[in-house]
Amino acid sequence: MRRAGQFTWLPVLGLWLGIVVAAPLWAYEEIAVSDGGSLVGTVVLDGKVPNPKGYNLTTLPDAIYCGRLSDGQGWRLLQPFNVGDGGAFREVVVYLESVHRGKPFSPFSPSRVEARDCRFLPFANLVRDQHDVLVVNTDPAMHDIQAYETSHLGPRVLFNVPLPISPKYPHEAGLSAHFHKHFEGAPVTATVKMTKGRHVFTMQCGFHAYMESWAIIQDHPYYAITDTHGHFELTDIPPGTYTVKIWHPYVREEIERTVTIEPKKEATVDLRVIAPTGRLYANQMVENPYIRYTITEDVQSQIVPTLEKQRYR
């Protein structure tokens, strides 16, 4: 099992994540917005979708069950860039920078992250400082939550706890590539307490390195996550001129536009992200991966992608 001191990628990403926003020195003021406008638009990835991450399943626990989602050759792929038709960039956070006052936050319910098919879902999320996050395991495999806060200051461990398995699973479920039921284990609830200057919350499984979930700290209600069409919408915005930005954990470039919101009118902005190139992560998958481990045909034949056969390209 890997522990916090063994991660090398989080400090590197922390350098990228520092472009998000400076820690606010003010408290957001909730007011009634009677003449607010709205902002709609899309986010598009322009260029070739970067290669996914690649993890050799024979070196990690639960290879048979987690291998239901794999490439058929013993590799689990993690694609951080969720891109649809026409370059629609999904699971990207769009937000207005430095909004001091505006509509109230929605009634609070904890941000939920679910371990399902050896993935943390959703990949991108929104959380609030000093509020709870709820994590639940629906797999017949043990998971381990390693949660961090990070920015250009580097990562800091927030909590590290096991994620229980539902007692409804038979013992052999985790050893099978053909068990498809999902029962929820006891939920784990933890309070997010960020330190000054850190704006990003991230989780990884200590047993299965390909399980990641990321979130940005939401300091006002004008944040949205793009849908399956790369579309977003922000509503009840006080009239004025704002800077709209995007956030994605693996996009280094700062993307921003200036928008003017008029009373009771809808503004539109389309944001284009140039696809990053080069090596984005240490374990980036390549077309012919160098295999450091001996994978016999017998072992490989047991890792069957019965849920989904992933494709490198």
Q: Give the model confidence (pLDDT) of 215-267 as tens digits.
A: 999 999 999 999 999 999 999 999 999 999 999 999 989 999 999 999 999 99
- pLDDT at position 161 is 95
- pLDDT at position 127 is 95
Flag whether pLDDT at 160 surpasses 50.
yes
User: How many angstroms separate the CA atoms of 138 and 207, rounded?
Assistant: 15
- Pick 2 or 244 by higher pLDDT: 244
User: How many angstroms separate the CA atoms of 30 and 46, rounded?
Assistant: 37
Q: What is the mean pLDDT of residues 261-289?
A: 92
Q: Which of the residue ranges 16-30, 81-95, 157-171, 204-218 would you say has the lowest mean pLDDT?
A: 16-30
pLDDT band at 293, cuts 50/70/90? low
Q: Which of the residue ranges 24-28, 118-122, 132-136 would you say has the lowest mean pLDDT?
A: 24-28
Percent of the chain with pLDDT over 90: 73
- pLDDT at position 26 is 65
SS3 content of the chain, % helix, strand, coil (to 5): 10, 35, 50
Per-residue pLDDT reduced to its tens digit, 170-182: 988 888 888 889 9
Q: Please give the model's pTM, rounded to 2 decimal places.
A: 0.88
pLDDT band at 9, cuts 50/70/90? very low
Flag whether pLDDT at 5 surpasses 50.
no
* Alpha-carbon distance values, 161 to 50, 144, 158, 188 (Å): 32, 6, 10, 8
Flag whether pLDDT at 10 surpasses 60.
no
Could you tell me if 76 and 193 are in contact, meaning their C-beta atoms sit under 8 angstroms apart?
no
Q: What is the mean pLDDT of residues 46-70?
A: 94
Flag whether pLDDT at 22 surpasses 70.
no
User: How many angstroms separate the CA atoms of 197 and 155, rounded?
Assistant: 11
Flag whether pLDDT at 213 surpasses 50.
yes
- Pick 247 or 297 by higher pLDDT: 247
User: How many angstroms separate the CA atoms of 80 and 91, rounded?
Assistant: 9
Q: What is the mean pLDDT of residues 122-144?
A: 95
User: How many angstroms separate the CA atoms of 147 and 218, rounded?
Assistant: 17
pLDDT band at 294, cuts 50/70/90? low
